[in-house]
Structure 1
Amino acid sequence: MTSLADLLAQGAGHAWLFVPSALLLGALHGLEPGHSKTMMAAFIVAVRGTVWQAILLGLSATASHTAIVWIIGLAGLYFGRNLDLDTAEPWFQLASAAIIVAVALWMVWRTWREGRAAANEQDHDHGHAHDHDDEVRRIDTGHGVVALAIFEDGVPPCFRITAERGRPPRASELTVTTTRPDGAVQTFAFADKGAFLESVETIPEPHAFDARLSIAHGSHSHDFDVVFAEHDHGHGHDHGGLDVSDPGYQDAHERAHANDIKQRFAGRDVTTGQILLFGLTGGLIPCPAAITVLLLCLQLKQVALGATLVLCFSIGLAITMVTVGVVAALGMRHAEKRFGSAFATLARR
């Protein structure tokens, strides 16, 4: 059977085999497990993007992937002239194994930590009765769990924040901003009352609004969005907000990313420049097979063939990203129209 190197040495005579193979390999590369670019591209495009932006996403990924493969290929060709592969390969395998084991141990530790935190929170909920629990929102800030509550027993209604787990934030670090259905916005500062933090301002009726808890951290802040609804309104109002107190979010990191996405894109579409930049970053993870083929072509003096194969590989990657993005953009909207909010909740989880 003819080897790949022999086929490549014959040049363009086997282009009918090389080009489709490179396209297919590139398309499959975009679907490989562990490559988050397809998932992220589908998410961004499905939420706000258009079909044209999905196409632009794929084209920009093609450009960046082609460039990074050439950079790595030429660098490998230059620095690898004096490299003994037989000697170096075991060390590369050992380093790869160490990285994989380290990542696996980190994942196990993180899963154990989150499971233990969830169990502790459930024990706290079962062991203590809370009055007006529908007016309490528990938020995992990443440094602990705080309870944001509307308190009005014998006093004018105000916000109270208590630390249920971890280090409590300082009053000077906190603000709560409410946004009502009519667009009215109000910001609440807090005072330290010893066992809890209490808002300086009182909360006007009705208590139906989106609330954003902001915790200052150095030169920036971490924001967490929750929703409050009046008791007699049944299931409350859906203001289109993202309630990070919902247990469907697994940890503080997911909540923080959800809030970042909401803040960045709320009320406006993703711009063409953002899609272009996202596509460029999405193509920065090269496929080792593409680099190998390019190196073979360069060593065999088949520069034009190598450039063609890398380009075809990148086009295959672009086809996957464009297809997934377009299907997600059109399919998500169709599914939401047909199945309503239930599908959106399922997709989010």
Structure 2
Amino acid sequence: MKLLAAALVASAALLVVPAVAMAHPLGNFTTNQYAEVVASGDRLYVVTVLDLAEIPTFQAKAERQRLGEGAYAAALAARVLGGLELRIDGDARPFKQLERNLTFPRGAASLRTTRLELVLDAGPLRDGRRAAVVLENNAFASRIGWKEIVVRAERGAAVVRSAAPTASVSERLRSYPQDLLQSPLDVTSAVVRLEGSSQAGIAPTLSSSSAMSARDGGTGAGGFASLIEEQDLSTGFVLLALLLALFWGAAHALTPGHGKAIVAAYLVGAKGRPRDALALGGIVTVTHTIGVFALGIATLALSEFIVPEDLYPWMNLVSALLVVVVGVAVLRQRVSSALASSREKRHHHHHHDDGQHHRHHHRHDHASMTPEEHARAHLPSEGTGWRGLLAVGISGGLLPCPTALVVLLAAISLHRVAFGLVLIVAFSVGLAAVVSGIGLLAIGARSTFSRVSFEGGLVRALPAVSALLVFGIGVTMTVRALPGIL
């Protein structure tokens, strides 16, 4: 009965969430920040919120255990304050910490996230006098994530001029708007004019720890990452989990990326065979699995030196350059084949001055061939070559899915490394199956077109056009990857 319930829940999740679900809406790598400037009567306050997703929280686990929760909260608050600067009429204002709240809401696959809230006193505001206020937030500047600033007034104070909103669109990093997830806010400064009042200021209050812990049940893991959490690892559930991991890997492959267009264009351009498409799937599986484990090792062993999300731009660039190299190689092969075909045709139609055909001194076994078939018989042998297959496969599987990394880290945390490994392999196989399937469809389409007689050379030019497409995609990927590392 328990297995049946787990199957129903997992199947429902598969139908509702076709893509791999992530507990943190902005991704498992993110460091998200919020700052709220509050003019309250005759005083100025700042509320800050720091939201660390699963992976940076996991990386800080050793430091948290070494320092203890209280000292760790103080150290984290010091990092936030070290990057926060407030100036009023050009003069820097020091902050006095009034309240601090550190919680660890539950995230994906039983991993925790981190939420640090601070209330800061920034000093007095004069009654009836307008002040130019500048807030800059440079904390965690190198980390990716949501960055938001809000400015509001209460108890008689007023916001005279401000480009910043008066209310948070993310509810202080509790609920991120769906329409902004692909282009999150990146606001790190605000310049405003505020006016104080004669009323005594009242400091803002923070959410209680119990209220923040309510997030545990509301944003827990879904989809692939939830499989590692199951307590009863019976044989039936493990088999079901592997099947679901295959499905989620396939669903993830259907999202943008993973070189589907590249695989199709490459196999058409290089005149690949069905076995080449299957080989590509195997290479993608191995590459993606190794990539997840390599990134996991970097996350665990090199957390003081390497930030995992900093590796992704470099992986993107390597993947793009591999595609460029493959495109050049296939294009060169197509040009060589075209030149060889042209030479063979000229040889076949060569005449002596007396109008007689040149006599060959060797016997052809294909004397009954048409001129086109005769020309093709003398072309260099076609084939993708293992180097090309390896490059395309590595390019397609080089970027590991962040959720697969979360599953690995959770498996280590829960002492279920073997189960985590087979889940990741199954996920990678599902991803690779889609890539291979698209390759097989491309090969089948090319074969169908090659059997149909068309006027002109459109079909004959298809491999060369596909090779050019691979090269063009690689160049585009390279151009897009460069800003991430510059």
TM-score band w.r.t. shorter chain? 0.3 to 0.5
What is the TM-score normalised by the length of structure 1?
0.44
What is the TM-score normalised by the length of structure 2?
0.32
Greater Rg over alpha carbons, structure:
2
Instruction: Determine which structure has the larger helix proportion and give its number.
Output: 1
